[in-house]
Amino acid sequence: MSPKNAVDRNGLTEQKFLEVYDAGTFEHPSVTVDMLIFTVLNRAQDNYRKLPDKSLQLLLIKRGEHPFLGQWALPGGFVAVSESIEAAARRELYSETNIDNIYMEQLYTWGDVNRDPRTRVISCSYMALVDRSTLNVQAGDDADEAAWFEVGYEVIEEFRRETADGSELERLLRISLSSETDSLSGTVRILESVQGHVRQLKREIVESNGIAFDHVLMIQYAIERLRGKVEYTDIIFNLMPPLFTLSELQRVYEIILGKELLAAAFRRKIADAVTETEEFTKDAGHRPSKLYRYNQLRNFMP
């Protein structure tokens, strides 16, 4: 801080300045948080004694109000003036899950002028990763209807165009969300352009089916981030129960990355992220599998 008696160009000391300062001089936007709460769920297999299939799930809330009445939206709410954004996010997260100790990270702040038809709303999106086994409560404290949706993510088109001073890559991504009762979907266009050496990226909604606001964009962004981070951080263990088999872990990697991995290489790679225990799975109808836990002592930054 500057010395207490220093004066600014208007001849004010700091104390005088703060007294005079009027925060309400012009109109402010509203600020909200929107939560992307992901989990991994075991789906029972119809088949003989196969391993349970896993799926990535996202929590959505059915809107009981205008706008987008009846559509599904990310859980979220307003940031109070006396509350940090992160505190608001934690509050929302807790109100949906009733759990405290959950991994959460800020993703992106969405600031287009007309993203909310009511008024100017800026929304800061957060991603949370929960181990489903700790979630006994069926989410939703409030009267709102909440449900888990299985997430599908697919690149449906991708092509390059030449432009005046460079080129452009367009990708169309399809997000599909399905709960026990509802089936939603959306398409996002991502435009990456290079002009000279300057690269720019634009993201826009092509189509949104039952998903409120610009939340498809947020969902697409979150999945992209999750995919990216899974490769160079230990973020994935937030989705795992305390004890897990390497095959389970591999499956979670596979559903997030959207591709199959080779068991041998996979095991080599994550070897020092996990610690083996003395325990095994049982009654599986096949060879038991050793249980592992996350190795906390692993170096955070490689």
Partner DNA sequence: CTAATAGTGTCTTTAAGACAATATCGT
Partner DNA sequence: ACGATATTGTCTTAAAGACACTATTAG
For a second copy, which residue of 85, 172, 205, 261 counts as binding (CB under 8 A)?
85
Q: Is 227 helix (H, G, I), strand (E, B) or coil?
A: helix
Neighbour count for residue 232 (Cβ, 10 Å): 8
Tokens of 240: 């795992």
Interface positions, 87-146, toward DNA (CB under 7 A):
none
Dihedrals φ, ψ of 274, to 5°? -130, 160
Instruction: Give least dist CB 45 to a second copy, A.
Output: 26
| DSSP conformation letters of 289-301 | -EEEEE-TTS-S-
Catalytic residue among 83, 96, 145, 248: 145
For a second copy, which residue of 45, 84, 98, 183 counts as binding (CB under 8 A)?
84
Q: Which does 28 bind (CB under 5 to 8 A by kind): a second copy, DNA, none?
A: a second copy
Count of residues touching DNA (by CB under 7 A): 26
Are 216 and 199 contacting, i.e. CB atoms less than 8 angstroms apart? Answer: no
Could you give the CA distance from residue 273 to residue 271 in angstroms, rounded to a whole number? 6
Which x/- pattern over 28-47 shows residues binding DNA (rule: CB under 7 A)?
-------------------x
Measured CA distances, 252 to 115, 237, 256 (Å)? 33, 10, 6
* Nearest CA among 75, 117, 73, 71 for reference residue 210: 71
Interface positions, 205-264, toward DNA (CB under 7 A):
245-248, 262-264
Q: Does 136 bind a second copy (CB under 8 A)?
A: no
Dihedrals φ, ψ of 180, to 5°? -65, -30
- Judged on CB neighbours under 10 Å (0-12, 13-18, 19+), 128 is buried
- Judged on CB neighbours under 10 Å (0-12, 13-18, 19+), 292 is buried
Instruction: Give least dist CB 293 to a second copy, A.
Output: 8
State yes or no: is 145 an active-site residue.
yes
Q: Does 265 bind DNA (CB under 7 A)?
A: yes
For DNA, which residue of 48, 159, 232, 300 counts as binding (CB under 7 A)?
48
Q: Which is nearer to a second copy, 45 or 167 (CB)?
A: 167
Select the span of 34-42, 113-121, 178-186, 258-266 touching a second copy (CB under 8 A). 113-121
Neighbour count for residue 216 (Cβ, 10 Å): 26
Q: Does 79 bind a second copy (CB under 8 A)?
A: yes
Interface positions, 165-224, toward a second copy (CB under 8 A):
166-167, 169, 192, 194-201
Interface positions, 241-270, toward a second copy (CB under 8 A):
242
Q: Does 159 bind a second copy (CB under 8 A)?
A: no
- List, by residue number, the catalytic residues: 145
Interaction site with DNA (CB under 7 A): 47-51, 245-248, 262-265, 267-269, 281-290
